[in-house]
Amino acid sequence: MSPAGHSVNVRILDRDYLVGCPPGEEEALQAAARLLDGRLRELRQQSRTATMERLAVMVALNFAHESLQARQAHASASDADEQLARLVARLDSLLEAG
C-alpha cells in the first residue's frame, strides 16, 4: 500500500484481495476487478481442469494482447493524423503559391 493511498477490497473468483489504491481510483479498481473476474470465470468454464495459475496467466496474456492491439491501432491513427496534417499543409502551400 502506498503512503498516499489506501487499501480496497476486491473480490475475484469468490476470493477477497486487499489492494492498495490511490484516492479517487476506487471505482476504476473495482471495475478492473469485475472485468478480471468475468474473464477468469469464462475461461474456467471452457477449461475445467486448468489450475488457477494457468487461468491467471492465460487471462493476463489475453489482456496483454488486447493492450498491444489497442496501442497499434492508436499508433496507426496517430500516423494517419500526421499524414493528413502534412497533406493539408502541402495543399495549403500549393493553393497559396497558385
**Which of the residue ranges 52-61, 62-71, 84-93 would you say has the lowest mean pLDDT?**
84-93
Q: What pLDDT score was predicted for residue 1?
A: 40
pLDDT at residue 45, as a whole number: 94
Max intra-chain CA distance, the chain: 72
Residue-level pLDDT at 98: 65
Task: Give the pLDDT confidence of 32-48 residue by residue, as tens digits.
Answer: 999 999 999 999 999 88
**DSSP letters of the chain?**
--TT-EEEEEEETTEEEEEEE-TT-HHHHHHHHHHHHHHHHHHHHH-TT--HHHHHHHHHHHHHHHHHHHHHHHHHHHHHHHHHHHHHHHHHHHHHH-
- pTM of this structure: 0.69
Domain chopping of the chain, boundaries: 6-97
> Band of the pLDDT at 92, cuts 50, 70, 90?
confident
Of 93, 57, 11, residue with least CA distance to 47:
57
Superfamily of domain 6-97: Cell division protein ZapA protomer, N-terminal domain (3.30.160.880)
Evaluate if residue 17 carries a pLDDT over 60: yes
